[in-house]
Structures are given as structure tokens and as C-alpha cells.
Amino acid sequence: MRIAGALTCVLSLVILSGCSGDGKDSDPKAVAATSATTSSPSEATSTPPAEATYVPKPGDPKEHTFVVTIRDQLSVPYSDAYQVKGDTCVLLGVGSELVFDGPDKKHDRRPLKSFTIPDRARLLGSTTCEAAMTVTVPYAPRYFVGVAMEGHGMPAPTDPAETQVRPKGDSQKLIVLR
């Protein structure tokens, strides 16, 4: 348990050290000038943290379009959205939806929109079903995308992680693994 805690700490430090700065070479004089302008520690800590919420700005787009490919890997137990029926794939049960979460004015993550996934998918090989759909969602600076299934419950360690994406251009292609 101590080893896992130590590895988590080291990994966090590595990630945080890679996230600092803007990727440009910093000027030591500018750093010294910035630290010299802060007169007391209380002033440095009184600045509010950066907001993770999203308030639309006047130039922001209203919507974003995704061409989504849902790739259901049938070899992953208890997470299938489709089942093989002959030479095609059919939806396994009811209530499977493609869900988009993202920030809004009050929350850093909230359901933005969901879509019923297609009833049929094409069979790739013998272990993968693939369905495609085009969806339009409210614009957000980042999205969390996944297939939600009624009655699926907690994700298992073998379940694929949700897809995280930032919008680029007017529309973009996206593959969601299931």
C-alpha cells in the first residue's frame, strides 16, 4: 500500500511539473520581477482559483458537431452495448445512450446532451461491433463522452475509460470505445 501511495505521489508531481508554465522558455528576470511585486504572502493567496466552469463569451460558437464512431469490443465482459446476430450486430437491451458531459455556468461537469445509439452496427471481424452517428451538442471547451447503459452499474477495472475531447474546428471525428 505504501508503494502505491509513493508511486501516486511521484506520478502527480511529474504531471504537475509538466503542466506548469505556458511551454515557452521563461525569462529569469521576469520571474524575479513577478516575485518582487508580491509584497506579502496573503496577497498571493487571496487571488481566487481558476474557474473550471464555462460561461459563453460573445465570440464562442453555439454548437459543435461530432461524427461519432462507437466501437464496441465484445471481448470486454459486462460492458457490451451490442451482440452479434448472424453477420451483423444488434443493440443489447434498451437504454443505451451516447452521453456528452461538460462544464456549464455553475458546474465543471454536467450532462449536456444524450443520444440513443443506433439499433444496428456492423460486425468487424468476430469481436468488434461498430456504429456511426452524427450529433450536434451545445458548445463547451471540453467534453467527456461515453456510452451509458441502463442497469450497467459501476464500471469495472476492465471497462474502457471515457473519451475526453476538446473541440477543434466546426466539426470533428471521434471514436468512442466501449
- Supply the CATH number for residue 154's domain: 2.60.40
Handedness of CA 151, 149, 163, 74 (dihedral sign): positive
**DSSP code for 34:** H
Distance CA 97, CA 75 (A): 20
* pLDDT 10s digits, 106-148: 998 999 999 999 999 999 988 899 999 999 999 999 999 988 8
* pLDDT 10s digits, 63-122: 999 999 999 888 766 667 888 888 999 998 777 899 999 999 999 899 999 999 999 999
Q: How many domains does the chain have?
A: 1
> What is the residue range of 151's domain?
63-177
Give the global pTM: 0.65
Note the pLDDT of residue 177.
83
Residue 39 counted as domain residue: no
Residue 10 counted as domain residue: no
Residue 129 counted as domain residue: yes
